[in-house]
Amino acid sequence: RKEVEQDPGPFNVPEGATVAFNCTYSNSASQSFFWYRQDCRKEPKLLMSVYSSGNEDGRFTAQLNRASQYISLLIRDSKLSDSATYLCVVPSGSARQLTFGSGTQLTVLP
Amino acid sequence: ETGVTQTPRHLVMGMTNKKSLKCEQHLGHNAMYWYKQSAKKPLELMFVYNFKEQTENNSVPSRFSPECPNSSHLFLHLHTLQPEDSALYLCASSEGQGHTEAFFGQGTRLTVV
């Protein structure tokens, strides 16, 4: 199993839709998880941190399932500006460095 | 305005050139990182520094040489690169190594010709 694995995408959804991405991780000892957003040709930026069972911030909800070792990101009422690549990030390895998933590309269509 | 600044933003270099990438963070963080992002590939961790000490070298070729003179500055010295080294090189910092979110600079887009 890859250390961090994400839905392959791409996801093309209409404005106003609800979309969910999943991410699985292999390191059962991981305590914290992150979702980053990366716009085209820009640097990744932190979207949400997840330290317990989940986190909610406006239209964005992240959920953690430790038993199944996956985290999800739910986006409600999608906006055009939500179009980006969403990266799942999990500390892993002996040095607990951040390991990035390959990302899921989202395009919100008018 | 970003707390992590990288220069230059763009760099074109020949295979025999020597150049350096610079990263500076103004966040008071103790850990700094170099990542490589190639087209259609996930971010690859290259080096980790924690309190100025290198704690991780992710099997990076010796033509990439990092330097961390203090907790605020990180360099990546480049020499005799190959065309396949062309990529976006991202610097990041975090409060401590692991378990805390990282903040990225805008990256240096490197083209090796």
Among the partner-chain residues B42, B56, B90, the one whose CB lies closest to the CB of A95 is B56
Confidence grade of residue B58 (pLDDT, cut at 50, 70, 90): confident
Interchain CB distance below 8 Å, A45 and B101: no
Contact A71, A23 (CB under 8 A): yes
Q: What is the pLDDT along chain A (110 residues), one digit of tens a residue?
A: 678 999 878 999 999 999 999 999 988 888 889 999 999 889 999 999 988 878 999 999 999 999 999 999 999 999 999 999 999 998 876 666 788 899 999 999 99
Q: Is B60 on the interface with A (CB under 8 A)?
A: no
Size of interface A-B (CB pairs under 8 A): 53
Q: Is B107 on the interface with A (CB under 8 A)?
A: yes
Question: What pLDDT is attached to residue B21?
Answer: 98
Residue A54: its pLDDT value, please?
86
**For position A93, what pLDDT does the model report?**
65
Q: How far apart are CA A55 and CA B24, in angstroms?
A: 31
According to the model, what pLDDT value does residue A110 have? 95
What's the confidence (pLDDT) of residue B37? 94
How far does chain A reach from its first CA to its final CA, in angstroms?
Answer: 37
- What was the pLDDT predicted at A18? 97
Angle ∠(B106,B92,A70) on CA atoms, nearest 5: 105
pLDDT digits (tens, 9 = 90+) for B6-46: 999 999 999 999 999 999 999 999 999 999 999 878 889 99
Considering only the beta carbons, identify the residue of A31, A43, A101 that sits closest to B106: A43
CA dist A110 and B9 (Å) reads: 33
Distance CA B76, CA B63 (A): 10
- pLDDT score, position B9: 96
Q: Is B105 on the interface with A (CB under 8 A)?
A: yes
pLDDT in tens, B23-32: 999 999 999 9
Q: Which residue of B has its CA nearest to A97?
A: B98
A96 touches chain B (CB under 8 A): yes
pLDDT of residue B38: 92
pLDDT at A29: 82
